[in-house]
Amino acid sequence: MQILLNEQPLDITPDTRLRQLRDRVQPHADVLIRNGHAETGDPLLAEGDRIVFIQRGQIPSANELESQLTARHSPGVHQRLKQATVGIAGLGGLGSPVAVALARSGIGRLILIDFDVVEPSNLNRQQYFIDQLGLPKAVALKETLNRINPYVSIEAHALRLTPANISSLFGEVDVLVEAFDRADQKAMLVETFLSQCPGKPLVAGSGLAGFGPSNSIVTRQVAGNLYLVGDGETAAAPGTGLMAPRVGIAAHHQANAVLRLLLGEDPQ
C-alpha cells in the first residue's frame, strides 16, 4: 500500500506501524505527525496516510522544504513563484507583512529597501520584534525572513530611494510593491518606476488607516501596469491611526495581487 511521507509517495507493507517507519527512515525524529495531528502512540498505518517526521532543532534541507511547499501550492504554481523576483519599497506596516507572505509562498528572490530603523511605535502593526528595536528595518526583516524560509534569496538595502537609483535597484524585478507612508514618496516611486521600467507591474497602497470596514479594502487597476490597494480615502490623521488589522488586510491584498500577476491572473 502507499502513503505520503514528508509529501513524497512511499510504498509500505500493510503491517507497518508509525514508529517502525520512523526508526527505519528518520530515527532521530521526535515529533511524529499523522494526517495533520501529532501522534503519541504507535498506530498501524493505513492506505493514504500523510506522515511527517520532525526532529526538533533541525532545519529541513532545501529539497525537503521545497517538496512540502510544492505539495501545498501545486507543482506548477510553486515552480513559477520560485523563479520570480519581487521588489518591496518600504518595509513598514505594508511592506513587512507583504514580505512575510511572499517568503511563505516560496518567492525565489526578494529585493527589500527601506532607510528607516525599527522604533517602538512600529510594533503595533509591523513584522518586527522588541529585540530588533534600533536595527535598520532592512536588516531586521531579512533576519526574520531567514527564520521563516532560509532558501529565499534576499537582497536587503538600508538606503533611501530616489529617482536616480530606482531603476538600478528594481530593474530586474517581475513585480514591484510600493509600501511607503508619505504621499510624495509614493508619487515619486510610481512615476519613476513606471517610466524607467516600462512593462513591469507595480502594486501600490492607499487608504488603509483606522478600523473601518474590512470589505472597503479592494484591489483595482488604475492605469496600465499600476494596481492600487485600499479604499483610496482613509489616511492616517488625529483620531484615525494605523492599526494592525486593517493595514494587514491591505498588505495581504498586495501580496495576493503579486501572486496573481506572477501567475498570469487578473489581480482585481
Instruction: Walk along the chain (268 residues) and give the pLDDT tens digit of each residue.
Output: 999 888 789 999 999 999 999 999 999 988 998 988 889 999 999 999 989 888 888 888 877 777 777 767 776 788 899 999 999 999 999 999 999 999 999 999 999 999 999 999 999 999 999 999 999 999 999 999 999 999 999 999 999 999 999 999 999 999 999 999 888 999 999 999 999 999 999 999 987 777 888 889 999 999 999 999 998 777 666 666 778 898 999 999 999 999 999 999 999 8
* 93 and 30 share one domain: no
Contacts of 45 (CB under 8 A, 6+ apart): 3, 12, 16, 17, 18, 21, 34, 51
pLDDT at 242: 77
pLDDT at 237: 62
CATH at residue 41: 3.10.20.30
**Whole-number Cα distances in Å, 41 to 17, 38, 48, 258:** 10, 9, 19, 43
pLDDT at 227: 97
206 within 8 A of 181, measured Cβ to Cβ: no
pLDDT at 82: 92
- Cα separation of 233 and 208, whole Å? 8
Judge whether 143 lies within some domain: yes
C-alpha cell at 113: 529597501
* 210 and 82 share one domain: yes
* 88 and 12 share one domain: no
Judge whether 95 lies within some domain: yes
Q: How many domains does the chain have?
A: 2
pLDDT at 69: 75
Domain that holds residue 234: 75-262
The residue behind cell 523576483 is 85
* 42 and 79 share one domain: no
pLDDT at 181: 87
252 within 8 A of 205, measured Cβ to Cβ: no
C-alpha cell at 200: 513591469
pLDDT at 23: 93
pLDDT at 185: 94
Prediction pTM value: 0.85
* 87 and 21 share one domain: no
C-alpha cell at 129: 520584534
Contacts of 92 (CB under 8 A, 6+ apart): 114, 116, 122, 125, 126, 137, 179, 181
* 173 and 80 share one domain: yes
